[in-house]
Amino acid sequence: MQKGVFDDFVREVMQSREFVAPVKGDQTKEVQESFFTDIKDPSQIEIGQLTYFPIKYYFFAKKEVLFSFHKNRIEEPEIDIPERVFFGLRLCDLNSIKHQDTVFLNNGFRADPYYQARREHSLLIGMHCKKGDDHCFCQSIGLKDFYDLMFFDKDEHTYGIDVGSEKGKAFVDEFRRFFEEKEEGYITPEDKVTINTFKLDTTNIKNLWDNEVWSSLSEKCTACAACNNLCPNCHCFTVEDEVEVGDVTKGQRVRKPAACLVKGFTRVAGDHVFRDDLVGRFRHRIFHQLEFFRDRYGETMCTGCGRCIRGCPAKIDWVTGINTAARKQRGGQE
Amino acid sequence: MAGKEKPENGKLKVGFYNVTGCAGCLLSVIYTEGDFLEFSQQVDIVSFPFIKEKNDDEQELDVAFIEGVVVTKADEETVKKIRERSKMVVALGACAHLGNIPALAKMKKSEDLEYLKYKKEDFNMDREGGPAPLHTLIKIDYTLPGCPPDRDEIRQFMKYLLLGKTFRNYNDPVCVECKLRNNGCLLDQGKICLGPIIAGGCKAVCPSGGLKCYGCRGFVQGIDKEFDGYFRIMEDKGFSLDDVKRALETFMAIDAHKVLDEKFAQYQLNRKAREESYE
């Protein structure tokens, strides 16, 4: 695609679909930091920087009505999701969607219909990122190609586009006039490289469970759960019944995100709290991201976007913490 | 437990009272709008002087909501009498819960505040001990915190009352709801936002409007190490314990000093122990 026709392309897509892309935040507005939203004009798009807020809430809603009830009658909601094109996702964002798919679609005997509806009406267009900033470390994780279409900044005038799925192909066919056919191998392995200066040492994490690094890292932690809420992968939720004051037999069952850093997360009947200790909760989050998820699904959950470090009020750099601890455990050998 | 007191037949008898306060919390109750009307049909509102002409102030109550802080001797008598004839007492709002702004009087000598006092007979502000939140004088069964309390939480409480369920306050820090409302972090902007140690449930209304959290809803219950983290962040940003106290004084003049002194001492001990263990 020629860069010159990009704006026209966006405008044309917007005629039939919501076009969701990263935009800048505004301290005086409802969203204060950069985020994804359905844009009204191509000039809003801001792809230079990783967004502060994750993409996940488009699929894993902040409040999802599972069903409404009245006495013993249950009614499932009609899920009406507009057709959406997501643009400007980085490979870390895309992989986080892949991981959410693992949890909500391919986990157990049936897919989650609410999540599924949101995913089915989406088309994922990536934007390759050549160089990470001070907090991202996706190279250390090893992300997979997962997209319908991926844009690469080929040169001054051209976007190279890789088609990653049937859905992506059908989309290209629909908007044929903006795209040019290229030979196989047009997108080279060099195009796909992302350079990180920040790295995570993943070789020895399993052995760090009893390490003192967790208490030193969580020294500054206030359990505010910004890391949970900004993480594109965190998918834990809680389910509540909301009844009506006028008739308490009538109401809705809703699903909301839950954060494992706060104490109430592991509180059970009888007021027992399983992970009472903040250090344990902190460690659990990192281990779920790097170990437990992989043990179960074969992939590291963390996608190395670094939002948890950028968004942390204390800027707790657990990556460097782990690197140092791992090095120490090996006796200081590199 | 809410509702255990629910009578076999008939409706719950409910009263809404106010001692020294601005009546904003009672307004919040009314601001639940349609839901308050629904609620008033399902229970028997025996007394609500703020909006009702005829009130019965002798009857036994199932639930009494009290707004405000005890300042005068008459206030003290009022709340004690309400307690005596009520099965359940709910502290409504930050004044009843923590002492709120009137409790700032405790930071000054009584003589220095003489010029502010009403000079009126039968209005004795010289109650011993100064302004007092309800729990220091009577037993409180439930608290609806906040200045003013969040109307959704009041709604929730009404529902639980009608369902006969135990009500639990929202006990996650303000930050949780704050992030879900798409806010950046005021701590990053160098403000002494109290969000991480203050219980949410307010939907982070202040940070969403660009104001730091002043802590009107009281501390998150049952946290300990979290304070260490908070002090550490403050220290790294160059704020002292006094700065934090001052930020908290507005709504928690009574607890700010006592609790923070205790937690800060603990923080210093923990920190020292940790540093020694590293050596």
A231 within 8 A of A307, measured Cβ to Cβ: yes
Contact A263 B223 (CB under 8 A): yes
pLDDT tens sequence across B57-82: 888 999 999 999 998 888 999 999 99
Q: What is the pLDDT of residue B1?
A: 45
Measure in Å the smallest separation between the Cα of B75 and chain A Cα atoms: 32
B154 touches chain A (CB under 8 A): no
As given in the structure block, the two tokens for residue A112 are: 């989650």
Contact A226 B185 (CB under 8 A): yes
Q: How far is CA A330 from the centre of its chain?
A: 33
- Which run of H or E residues covers position B98? helix B94-98
Residues from chain B that touch A259, judged by Cβ atoms under 8 A, are: 172, 176
B38 touches chain A (CB under 8 A): yes
Residue with tokens 């249950």: A74
Residues from chain A that touch B159, judged by Cβ atoms under 8 A, are: 243-245, 248
First to last CA, chain B: 51
Q: Interface of chain A against chain B, CB under 8 Å? A: 25, 27-28, 30-33, 35, 52-53, 62, 212, 215-216, 218-226, 229-230, 243-246, 248, 257, 259, 262-264, 277-279, 311, 313-314
Residue (of A215, A91, A183, A201) closest to A143 by Cα position: A91
Residue (of A310, A293, A126) closest to A229 by Cα position: A310
B193 within 8 A of B233, measured Cβ to Cβ: no
In a domain, A288, yes or no: yes
The span from the CA of A121 to the CA of A84, in Å, is 6
In a domain, A169, yes or no: yes
The span from the CA of B44 to the CA of B14, in Å, is 6
Where does A110-212 have alpha helices with state H?
113-120, 138-141, 166-174
In a domain, A54, yes or no: yes
Measured from the Cβ of residue B175, the count of other Cβ atoms closer than 10 Å reads 31
Residues from chain B that touch A25, judged by Cβ atoms under 8 A, are: 182, 184
Residue of B160, B165, B179 for testing the chain A interface, max A β-carbons within 10 Å: B179
Contact A224 B155 (CB under 8 A): no
Measure in Å the smallest separation between the Cα of A57 and chain B Cα atoms: 9
Contact B226 A221 (CB under 8 A): yes
pLDDT tens sequence across A183-220: 888 888 888 888 888 888 888 888 888 888 898 898 88
Residues from chain B that touch A212, judged by Cβ atoms under 8 A, are: 277
Residues from chain B that touch A52, judged by Cβ atoms under 8 A, are: 184
pLDDT tens sequence across B115-130: 877 777 767 777 778 8
The span from the CA of B123 to the CA of B81, in Å, is 18
User: Packing angle between helix B225-236 and helix A278-287, nearest 10 degrees?
Assistant: 80
Residue B107 has pLDDT above 90, yes or no: no
A140 within 8 A of A304, measured Cβ to Cβ: yes
- Which run of H or E residues covers position A16? helix A6-16
- Please identify among residues 82-141 of chain B the ones whose CB lies closer than 8 Å to any CB of chain A: none
Burial of B156 (0-12, 13-18, 19+ CB in 10 A): buried
Contact B277 A212 (CB under 8 A): yes
As given in the structure block, the two tokens for residue A208 are: 């760090």
Residue B279 has pLDDT above 80, yes or no: no
Q: What is the pLDDT of residue A189?
A: 84
Measure in Å the smallest separation between the Cα of A24 and chain B Cα atoms: 12
Q: What is the pLDDT of residue A334?
A: 52
Contact B232 A314 (CB under 8 A): yes
The type of residue at A195 is I
Contact A259 B176 (CB under 8 A): yes
The span from the CA of B244 to the CA of B260, in Å, is 9
- Which run of H or E residues covers position B65? strand B61-67
Residue B272 has pLDDT above 80, yes or no: yes
B56 within 8 A of B46, measured Cβ to Cβ: yes
Residue of B37, B160, B225 for testing the chain A interface, max A β-carbons within 10 Å: B225
Contact B179 A225 (CB under 8 A): yes
As given in the structure block, the two tokens for residue A209 are: 């469970």
Contact A219 B228 (CB under 8 A): yes
Give how many domains chain A has, as a whole number. 1
Residue B43's contacts (CB-CB under 8 Å, 6 or more residues apart) are B11, B12, B13, B14, B63, B161, B162
Contact B173 A223 (CB under 8 A): yes
Residue (of A276, A10, A316, A333) closest to A151 by Cα position: A10
Backbone dihedral angles phi then psi of residue A231, each to the nearest 5 degrees: -70, 130
Three-state secondary-structure class, residue B66: strand
Residue A123 has pLDDT above 90, yes or no: yes
Size of interface A-B (CB pairs under 8 A): 116
Contact B225 A218 (CB under 8 A): yes
Contact B226 A259 (CB under 8 A): no
Residue of B40, B159, B205, B232 for testing the chain A interface, max A β-carbons within 10 Å: B159
DSSP string, A33-95: S-EEEE-SSGGG---SS--SS-SGGGTS-SSEEEEEEETTEEEPPP-----EEEEEE-HHHHH
Residue B3 has pLDDT above 50, yes or no: no
Residue of A245, A248, A255, A283 for testing the chain B interface, max B β-carbons within 10 Å: A245
Interval B95-103 mean pLDDT: 90
Longest dimension (CA), chain A: 68
Contact B35 A215 (CB under 8 A): no
Asked if the bond preceding B148 is cis, omega within 30° of 0, the reply is yes
Q: What is the pLDDT of residue A262?
A: 92
Domain of A276, in residue numbers: 3-329
∠ CA(B78), CA(B79), CA(B81), 5° rounding? 65
| Mean model confidence pLDDT for chain B | 88
Better-predicted residue by pLDDT, A47 or B146: B146
Residues from chain A that touch B199, judged by Cβ atoms under 8 A, are: none
Of B172, B180, B222, the CB nearest to A62: B180
As given in the structure block, the two tokens for residue B126 are: 């010289």
Closest residue of chain A to B36, computed from CA coordinates? A245
B233 touches chain A (CB under 8 A): yes
In a domain, A149, yes or no: yes
* B15-50 as b/e: b if 16+ CB within 10 A: bbbbbbbbebbbebbbebeebbebbbebbbbbbbee
Residue B11 has pLDDT above 50, yes or no: yes
**Which fold is adopted by the domain B13-163?**
Rossmann fold (3.40.50)
As given in the structure block, the two tokens for residue B30 are: 């009314």
Pick from A25-34, A103-112, B194-203: least confident = A25-34
Query: pLDDT-derived band of residue B36, with 50, 70 and 90 as boundaries?
Result: very high
First to last CA, chain A: 45
As given in the structure block, the two tokens for residue B105 are: 């009087």
Contact A219 B232 (CB under 8 A): yes
Measure in Å the smallest separation between the Cα of B161 and chain A Cα atoms: 10
B68 within 8 A of B21, measured Cβ to Cβ: yes
Of B175, B223, B277, the CB nearest to A226: B175
Give domain limits for chain B.
13-163, 174-278
Query: For chain A, what percent of residues have pLDDT higher than 90?
Result: 45
